[in-house]
A and B are shown apart, each in its own frame.
Chain A
Amino acid sequence: MADNKQNAPRRRMGGPGAGIVPGEKAKNFKGTLGKLLQRFGKYPYQVAFVLLASILGTVCFVMGPEILRRATNLLQTGLQAKLIGTGEIQLGKIGAILAGLLAVYGVSALMHLAEGLIATQVTQKLCFSLRREISEKISRLPMRYFESQPIGDILSRITNDVDTLSQSMQNCFTQFIFSVTSLIGITVMMFVTSWQMTLIAFALIPISGGLIGGIMRVSQKYFKRQQKYLGEINGQVEETFAGQTVVKLFGYENTAMETFKETNSSLFASAWKSQFLSGLMMPLMNFVGNLGYVGVVVFGAVLTMNGTLMVGDIVAFVQYIRNFTQPIQQLAQVGNQFQSMAAAAERVFEFLDESEETQDALNLKQPDELRGAVTFDNVHFGYLPEKTIINSFNCAVQPGQTVAIVGPTGAGKTTLVKLLMRFYDVDSGAVLVDGHDIRELPRHALREGFGMVLQDTWLFSGTIMENIRYGRLDATDEEVVAAAKAAHVHHFINTLSEGYETHLSEDAENLSQGQKQLLTIARSILADRPILILDEATSSVDTRTEERIQKAMRNLMQGRTSFVIAHRLSTIRDADIILVLRDGDIVEQGNHAQLLERDGFYARLYNAQFAVG
């Protein structure tokens, strides 16, 4: 209940702290809300029905006490007469009124029920379609976006933000309608019953408004502070636990504990204060409620003395007063929820509005099967427009040749690969595959020419079979097994208790790095593409597995054009073309012997390994 994120408080059930936690604020509140409302416009009938049902339901809800008042007044006069001995209680009439009242409450419940069901349908469908749009958007965004944006941030838009929306949208809109309608309805009914007592009720507005506002303002301060210290604690804990071994090895435990204790007590101070202040809301609002109650009962009683009022009026008023403070409180909470909803919606819309990859023109020709000839023709490229890193690069690769890309750490060895796969477009010049400028090929047709094995092995949660088959979705089981055999991983898979049906857990923790790499190689073998991109970095793999990987890669490279980000000297030596990179640019190219002869950067790099230290 108090945990807003998980279980946003339902209507009329606000607990301590509910809706009080300050949310992030949207930068453009109105615009975002407008966009959100536009989406609701797709369901005009449903929205109209929800509005209507909500208003009708609330009107019935508000009428209840008024009808009850009639029954009670009848009861009161009857009883009074009976006590004096001058009349009887009209049970029949009272019964009829009560039956009518029950019916009215029934209608109110039915209306709210229907409203809730339809509102649920609309908001959840809306969130579902938002999620779908996001997932489709991911496919259309340029690579650049993912390399500049932390994954956690995008992830939180897809899940947390949409979740916040789904939790708060329905609440916000239905609660808003309910609160406003019932405020109006109750005010009218109160005036009808007794204007004198209505004034008492109105006296409560500034009191409760002031209390709610005051508490919210002060407690938000502490909530923010708590949030800040929570973040700090989070950082400290994360850092210390991640580096726990180092902390111990360097005898840093005591210092770490001291720092932690300091933040911890700051957190304690802000935690109990925010908890306390938000917890005050309930007793204080109860008190205001009681104040109204006592006021109504006392002054109501005084008014009965001269016959202005009857007991039934007081009973009705007590109910109105109870229901009167609630919508005020709810409106305050809804206001806050609106804020966090708008902030979440804004982040989602921001993502959906990101500029997309230039789409393929429709009239692009479908190439015949690619053979694998690659030409870089006077290529210039830079990640930032003002910073070109590749300058006039020319290189022609024949089908079946192996290209080794070498260079020190951080020299930008993957840039060439990204250009080749058209994750980025060249600034000038052209990359040609089989003589076609790759910008004139449909993206999927181009990419279907490539197989890829990266250092960061990517496997998804699913069976081993599914993961290998990812290379070619229509491959038979036999073909998958054949690919696994070619990748020297078949034997290992068979040692697993469930073989090919073994389910890989999140991050495939049940496999070693080397085994994961073998699986991705099998995937690429299965894909059977004319051009290969391989990343050889296998630093965390033991020698035997490495040997297996090497064999598997050699199997894979057979007869294909291969671009290898090379670390192994044997690969480099055997390559047809070696591209030497330094600070992003290609500084030398040629084969091993040619480059050694030139005695330039490559030669220095090569010799460095054996310059004994």
Chain B
Amino acid sequence: MKILGYLKECLGSLVLVILLFVLQVQCDLAIPSYTRDMVDIGISQSGIPDAVPERLSQQTFRDVTLLMPDADVTVLADSYRREDSNAPAAVQALLLSFPRSEDKKGQRAHLSEILRTPMALLAIGPIAERLPEDTPAEMRERVEAMAAEFDITKIRAAEAANPAAKDEILKNVDAEFDKLGEFADMQLNTYSTMRVQMEYKALGMDTNKIQKDYLYKTGGMMLLLSLASIICGIIVVLLASRAAAGVARNLRARLFSRVLSFSRAETDKFSPASLVTRSTNDIQHIQLALVMLIRIAIYSPLLGAGAVWNVLQTKTGMSWILGAAVGVLLLMLIAVNFTVIPKFRIMQDLLDRLNLVSREILTGIPVIRAFSREKHEEKRFDTASRSLLKNQLFVNRAMSTLMPLFFFFMNALMVTIVWFSAKGMDTGSIRMGDMMAFITYSMQIVMSFMMLAMIFVFLPRAEVAAGRINEVLATEPTVLDPPEPLDDVSDWKGEIAFSNVSFRFPGAEENVLENISFTAQQGKTTAILGGTGSGKSTLVQLIPRLYDVSSGRVTIDGTDVRDISQRKLRSLIGYVPQKAVLFSGTIDSNLRFGTDELAQEEVVRAARIAQAEDFILEKDEQYGSEISQGGTNVSGGQRQRLAIARAIAKNPKVFVFDDSFSALDFKTDAALRQALHTEISNAALIIVAQRISTVLRADRIIVLDEGRMVGCGTHEELMKSCPAYQEIARSQLSDEELSKGGGQNG
């Protein structure tokens, strides 16, 4: 994928982002497990995590030892020490000899394992005494029977009488709990922690405070984790935004400088409008896509994978529900991909179509009204509008269906989990907190799945944008500077010579220009005449190297134009293109375009020669008058005159007027040519024209027809010798005018 290529630019940030996400995902995944502890330990077990009491009375200690194998008694004895207190030794409690923080190698877990059954047995007696009123009789009997069997006073007596009785008792215990089956484990936990709480109460400890402390501590951890998660999140957003905006900035700069380096051969491939779209909208799309990509495409899979791992760890036996959910989701996505997404894609086409029809109507209003075709156009608009309506209805209906469906799916998933959790609790395989954690993990998995799916909706568009940008970046400019330019000639005269020049557009089959040779001398006017498609514009574009010749050579003062740097070459040429282009700024800044160190007189002189002085002086701000982008605030003729003045102000050695007079009326045209003739005598003048009246007085007229030179000479010579010229002249001038023009000229 092309868009991934851009990520190379910000590899450093990317690595950092991945690290931060790993951290964040760990935090996000840890939070549900704390919820589980909160419910299962904090609430169900009153904040007592296991069967290990922190403090223990000596009596309980002794009772416990009666109910465990001798090997375990040694471990237990090593774990508790006398509380350092001033109370008499006999009533002193025992203290756990290692605080929880120093629990190494699962010492505490082992201790809990040892203590669990004895502590649970010790709990049965008190529990039986305080059974709730509404306990079913059958259950009451069972608990009371157990309490009777494991009555501690009886056991104390039995063991005092015969130490070997211990083995018998322990066997009974195992048998009793075997009856409970899977449920035994949970029940042991419950009983033993209840016994721990009773122990604390007996020792006068505040059990409420113990529970609250546990809840607050766990809550505090959750908050800390959230905080860590959000900090990671914020840094990631920062990195992602900077990285994406940075990529966009660099792309824009590369694109801009690449387009500037293009010659006509390359710019012809792209329309200016499309280049603008590429460097603004397309890049903006990529920037957005990159932010999304960095933030979602890395985080979601990490979170999803982590959640799956955690779910598998819980051993709740409900993983199949998630498998099924993801399967259903996948089916939904596939269905959407084949039904809705294609309609999404054509939406833009339909909008474009409506846009096109609207634009056609708006630009054609005079014609539409002249032909009274309003109804016809309304119908055309309606057709486009209706097909857009159909598509929009489909897409929006699909979305209106999908969203409730998706939410129903999520809710149904939750209900399913609760139901199977209830069954699981009945068999003792899971607890309340497990269920809550499982629900949270499931939602995380489903959501990260959805987020990933969303990437696939918007990524294709960014891909298209990236493709369009890369297309420009991959286009190599064909007109290049020579490695060692011959710029150091101090005295350029400006004689342009074509020798055996042929040119064909890249990829074309035929030459546009065929074997052209002529010289345009300093101080002389050379005119190039021919119809559209005769290649006359192309011909003059070879001089400033807007294109390079295909064969032959173009020289300036005998030096091949390809041996001079483009900058130097173009500084020698004053070129006025067919379509006058001005830049936003002032008249002055436009006339000084590219030549900053120009004296004011030079600017004024140029404007005068170009017949622009009158209208400039009429303006309030004169030379400081604002020019809007593209020069749209001056008329076509004024724009053309300013473009001519701009070329004159440069004081070049060679002038090229590429059909530059067509926007001028006859009068201005004539005055301008008169002024050029008198004021500019030391430069070579090359004029491309269609109107024969423009070229009558040229020192040499070159007649082009379909890329070949069919005539070369003055008006009179050509009138005698060149049939093509005669044909053009006759079509434009009457005999009377021909002789009038010719007469004055001769």
Q: Which of A342-350, A365-373, A387-395, A454-462 is the contact stretch?
A: A454-462
Q: Which of A29-37, A280-288, A433-441 is the contact stretch?
A: A280-288
Pairwise interchain contact B256-A249, C-beta atoms closer than 8 A: no
Pairwise interchain contact A271-B260, C-beta atoms closer than 8 A: no
A327 interface hit (Cβ, 8 Å)? no
A158 interface hit (Cβ, 8 Å)? yes
Complex formed: what's the CA distance from A89 to B229 in Å? 38
Complex formed: what's the CA distance from A108 to B288 in Å? 35
Annotate A529-560 by CB proximity to B: 1 below 8 A, 0 otherwise. Answer: 00001000001111111110000000000000
Apart from A64-B411, A68-B415, A128-B389, 9 more pairs, CB < 8 Å: A80-B44, A82-B425, A124-B389, A132-B385, A135-B377, A237-B276, A268-B249, A276-B238, A287-B233
Annotate B232-262 by CB proximity to A: 1 below 8 A, 0 otherwise. Answer: 0110011011101110110011001101111
Q: How far is the CB of B690 from chain A (nearest CB, A)?
A: 7
Residues of A within 8 A of B675 (CB): 613
Residues of B within 8 A of A139 (CB): 374-375, 377-378
A501 interface hit (Cβ, 8 Å)? no
What are 10 A-to-B residue pairs whose CB atoms are below 8 Å? A85-B139, A91-B422, A128-B388, A131-B381, A151-B362, A244-B262, A251-B571, A298-B38, A311-B432, A545-B531
A294 interface hit (Cβ, 8 Å)? yes
Residues of B within 8 A of A613 (CB): 669-677, 697
Residue in B245, B259, B360, B363 whose CB lies within 8 Å of A271? B245
A225 interface hit (Cβ, 8 Å)? no
B401 interface hit (Cβ, 8 Å)? yes
Pairwise interchain contact A125-B389, C-beta atoms closer than 8 A: yes
Annotate A148-191 by CB proximity to B: 1 below 8 A, 0 otherwise. Answer: 00010011001100010010001000000000000000000000
Annotate B521-539 by CB proximity to A: 1 below 8 A, 0 otherwise. Answer: 0000000001111100000
Residues of A within 8 A of B279 (CB): 233, 237
Q: Which of B83-127 contact A (CB under 8 A)?
A: 127
Complex formed: what's the CA distance from A387 to B453 in Å? 64
**A2-B292, A128-B385, A290-B31 known; A89 vs B425 contact (CB < 8 Å):** yes
Pairwise interchain contact A542-B531, C-beta atoms closer than 8 A: yes
Q: Which of A584-613 contact B (CB under 8 A)?
A: 604-605, 608-613
Residues of A within 8 A of B272 (CB): 238, 241-242, 244
Q: How many B residues, CB 8 Å from partner?
A: 189
Pairwise interchain contact A245-B546, C-beta atoms closer than 8 A: yes
Residue in A127, A243, A291 whose CB lies within 8 Å of B581? A243
Q: How far is the CB of A122 from chain B (nearest CB, A)?
A: 11
Complex formed: what's the CA distance from A67 to B427 in Å? 24
Residue in B237, B415, B425, B690 whose CB lies within 8 Å of A542? B690
B339 interface hit (Cβ, 8 Å)? no
Q: Which of A291-341 contact B (CB under 8 A)?
A: 291, 293-294, 297-298, 301-302, 304-305, 311, 314-315, 318
Q: How far is the CB of A12 from chain B (nearest CB, A)?
A: 7
B731 interface hit (Cβ, 8 Å)? yes
Complex formed: what's the CA distance from A75 to B360 in Å? 69
Complex formed: what's the CA distance from A461 to B546 in Å? 33
Q: How far is the CB of A471 from chain B (nearest CB, A)?
A: 7
Residues of B within 8 A of A244 (CB): 259-260, 262, 267, 272
Residue in A113, A115, A246, A284 whose CB lies within 8 Å of B577? A246
Pairwise interchain contact A280-B186, C-beta atoms closer than 8 A: no
Residues of B within 8 A of A159 (CB): 351, 354-355, 358
A235 interface hit (Cβ, 8 Å)? yes
Q: How far is the CB of B637 from chain A (nearest CB, A)?
A: 5
Pairwise interchain contact A1-B581, C-beta atoms closer than 8 A: no
Pairwise interchain contact A233-B670, C-beta atoms closer than 8 A: no
Residues of B within 8 A of A376 (CB): none
Q: Which of B540-599 contact A (CB under 8 A)?
A: 544, 546, 566-567, 570-571, 573, 575, 577, 581-584, 593-595
Pairwise interchain contact B532-A514, C-beta atoms closer than 8 A: yes
Complex formed: what's the CA distance from A85 to B135 in Å? 9
Complex formed: what's the CA distance from A85 to B533 in Å? 101
Complex formed: what's the CA distance from A229 to B675 in Å? 44
Pairwise interchain contact B670-A609, C-beta atoms closer than 8 A: yes
Pairwise interchain contact B403-A543, C-beta atoms closer than 8 A: no
Complex formed: what's the CA distance from A3 to B459 in Å? 12
**A301-B38, A506-B356 known; A612 vs B741 contact (CB < 8 Å):** yes
Complex formed: what's the CA distance from A186 to B570 in Å? 74
Residues of A within 8 A of B381 (CB): 131-132, 135
Secondary structure dominating the interface of B = helix
Q: How far is the CB of A372 from chain B (nearest CB, A)?
A: 15
Pairwise interchain contact A265-B593, C-beta atoms closer than 8 A: no
Q: How far is the CB of A177 from chain B (nearest CB, A)?
A: 14
Residues of A within 8 A of B291 (CB): 2, 16, 275, 279
Complex formed: what's the CA distance from A261 to B260 in Å? 13
Pairwise interchain contact B237-A280, C-beta atoms closer than 8 A: yes
B343 interface hit (Cβ, 8 Å)? no
Residue ID in chain A nearest B664 by CB atoms: A409
Pairwise interchain contact B212-A276, C-beta atoms closer than 8 A: no
Residue of B139, B663, B733 with most partner-chain A CB within 10 A: B139
A256 interface hit (Cβ, 8 Å)? yes
Complex formed: what's the CA distance from A248 to B566 in Å? 9
Q: How far is the CB of B452 from chain A (nearest CB, A)?
A: 13
Complex formed: what's the CA distance from A276 to B294 in Å? 13
Residue in B260, B354, B693 whose CB lies within 8 Å of A253? B260
B39 interface hit (Cβ, 8 Å)? yes
B264 interface hit (Cβ, 8 Å)? yes
Residues of A within 8 A of B369 (CB): 143, 421, 423, 447
**A79-B425, A124-B392 known; A460 vs B360 contact (CB < 8 Å):** yes
Q: How far is the CB of B213 from chain A (nearest CB, A)?
A: 11
Pairwise interchain contact A304-B43, C-beta atoms closer than 8 A: yes
Residue ID in chain B nearest A604 by CB atoms: B667
**A246-B577, A252-B594, A275-B244 known; A610 vs B237 contact (CB < 8 Å):** no
Nearest 5 A/B pairs, CB to CB:
A116-B400, A542-B531, A613-B673, A250-B594, A283-B233
Q: Which of A504-523 contact B (CB under 8 A)?
A: 506, 512, 514
B709 interface hit (Cβ, 8 Å)? no
Complex formed: what's the CA distance from A279 to B234 in Å? 8
Pairwise interchain contact A237-B673, C-beta atoms closer than 8 A: no
Complex formed: what's the CA distance from A128 to B227 in Å? 49
Q: Which of B214-222, B314-322, B323-331, B505-513 is the contact stretch?
A: B214-222
**A239-B583, A242-B581, A271-B287 known; A75 vs B425 contact (CB < 8 Å):** yes
Pairwise interchain contact A612-B697, C-beta atoms closer than 8 A: yes
Residue ID in chain B nearest A285 by CB atoms: B230
A396 interface hit (Cβ, 8 Å)? no
Complex formed: what's the CA distance from A437 to B18 in Å? 80
Complex formed: what's the CA distance from A591 to B278 in Å? 55
Q: Which of B153-161, B195-203, B628-636 is the contact stretch?
A: B628-636
Pairwise interchain contact A612-B744, C-beta atoms closer than 8 A: yes
Pairwise interchain contact B249-A241, C-beta atoms closer than 8 A: no
Q: Which of B480-531 contact A (CB under 8 A)?
A: 530-531
A84 interface hit (Cβ, 8 Å)? yes
Residues of A within 8 A of B163 (CB): none
**A94-B419, A125-B389 known; A286 vs B230 contact (CB < 8 Å):** yes
B707 interface hit (Cβ, 8 Å)? no
Pairwise interchain contact A95-B419, C-beta atoms closer than 8 A: yes
**A10-B399, A242-B581, A243-B581 known; A569 vs B629 contact (CB < 8 Å):** no
Residues of B within 8 A of A166 (CB): 392
Pairwise interchain contact B351-A163, C-beta atoms closer than 8 A: yes
Residues of B within 8 A of A612 (CB): 670, 674, 696-697, 741, 744-745
Residue in B241, B275, B370, B432 whose CB lies within 8 Å of A452? B370
Pairwise interchain contact A447-B362, C-beta atoms closer than 8 A: no
Q: How far is the CB of A306 from chain B (nearest CB, A)?
A: 9
B740 interface hit (Cβ, 8 Å)? yes
Q: How far is the CB of A156 from chain B (nearest CB, A)?
A: 9
Residues of B within 8 A of A280 (CB): 234, 237
Residues of B within 8 A of A611 (CB): 670, 674
A561 interface hit (Cβ, 8 Å)? no
